[in-house]
Structure 1
Amino acid sequence: MRESKRWRLAALLLILASFGAGSSGAANGCQAPIAVQVLGSGGPEAQQERASAGYLLWLEGKARVLVDLGGGSFARYGASGARFTDLDLIALTHLHADHATDLPALLKSGYFSQRSRALPIAGPTGGGDYPDLEGYLQGLFAARTGAFGYLAGYLDGSDGLVRLERRTLEADSREPILVLETDDYRIRAIGVTHGPVPALAYRIDVGDQRIVFSGDLNGDDPWFVDFAHDADLLIMDHAVPEQAGAVAARLHALPSEIAEIAKAAEVKHLVLSHLMRRSERALDDSLARIHAVYQGELSVASDLDCFGLEPRGR
């Protein structure tokens, strides 16, 4: 009898879990007409509460743009209730594992969707040890030679898979590059400095709202300040404390640099994300340094957080 009760309880818990997994972004807190949801607020380390980088732009209850998809963020994508059929674009800031490694998992899941239209995907040119977007996708999905060659149909639209429309963007560009324009929004990218890694930042303009994703950058790029100017929401990677060594500072902006960027760009709401253990340990110090310079709204991201935006003037 006790065994039977345990099985019934387990079945009930599974049913309740299935309802949660199918919930919409609105049910998870993304109720504003324009919202950004954090899928992963962590970096390359395995962290209990933080998946690696990933973000969704929600418009009127639909997940339209996915920015990065690092390790663990695929599970958060599932928890968000986002639908593969609704995506207009996947935008990769760079090809580090903590920003791009869950892409095959997402595309495999897309096989089970009803999507028929092509899916645009954007990413940087290559350099040094890093392939460009096309090389990355070929390494993953090329027939016979790709790590996941059984998904080769994503490269040409065969085998019942939708075709990936590849958009390789110049990582050395210091001028904004138009990535995608629809009736509802416009997306642009610009090259940023992340040590030797070809990298991009993205800006999404929805009506009079401006949302900027820094990706990983080291704070040395004055053109990024112009790119992020007057942003209503700036999602800024915060991977290192102020006392970071020279190697880390070559890759990532220090808290003092984040503060100066947000102030100079006149950002309305700054969200710190991509936290590593080292930046979490020094978070109080970092927040104090940023508050001393930047007077706008400041938040620290957690996985599945939603940041809603209202049209200006309200």
Structure 2
Amino acid sequence: MLGIVGIAVIFVMVFGGYILAGGKLAIIIKALPFELMMIGGAAVGAFLISNDIGSVKHTLKDIGKVFKGPKWKHEDYRDLLCLLFELIRLARANPVAIEEHIEAPEESSIFSKYPKILTDKEAINLISDTLRSASMNYDDPHQVEEVLDKRMDANLHHALHSSHALQSMADGLPALGIVAAVLGVIKTMGAIDQPPEVLGKMIGGALVGTFLGVFLAYGLVGPFSAKVKAVTEEDGHFYHLIREVLIANLHNHATNICIEVGRQNTPSHCRPSFGELEEALKTVKQDAA
């Protein structure tokens, strides 16, 4: 919703200010389709050249983040802590029983309590792989932490590709606007014998190219890139919380302490209060009894 409001504010302020200053939209409207075809088409073409089909699909999908915001909300972090509490407690009480849950999470009675988390393959794999490694005696906290850090860094690098692709497009748009403007000037020079009022409109139409390139770069595509990056990095905290709790578990801290470590490493605006989490964990214990 905030993204839509931002776009509306940009258009109202830019074009509203232009009209209030005495500008005429007729010239912009007349030149806009052709300028947009040249600038937008060239930008899309350059985007396709510099990315593979997987990256193109990923970027188009990630544009939705501008309007949807972060995937993980306050209640999701609370649910994650409850899920990890159940798994750690079971793994310590019965190491054999945990295997059926981490080997087939989609059939697990524990994972199925948290359907939103279950749909995220990376979160599920991160939990399952780490618990599986611990059951195979690969449980040195420092080594496991290093492995998890490298894994999450690689995942974040891949997830940020959309933002980088959009920023590359934003960086190129002003130059493409100049290209369109130069073509407009060439067209104007070919009609140099026309009266001044005709040439004035042609030059104004040519300058629409420069305006459009800069406007799209700094008013739309650049902010889209920044928002995608911010949302992606914020969603990354969800996986960092998994790492913190599971590493605390490998240090053999009490289960409640492991969960508290995770709670305190949750972003402040999504962090459940101590009392709220205690109530949620109490419910989990009652259901398991």
TM tier, smaller: under 0.3
Provide the TM-score with structure 1 as the length reference. 0.21
Choose between structure 1 and 2 for higher RCO, CA contacts under 8 A separated by at least 6 residues.
2
Point out the structure with the larger helix share: 2
Provide the TM-score with structure 2 as the length reference. 0.22
Larger Rg: 2
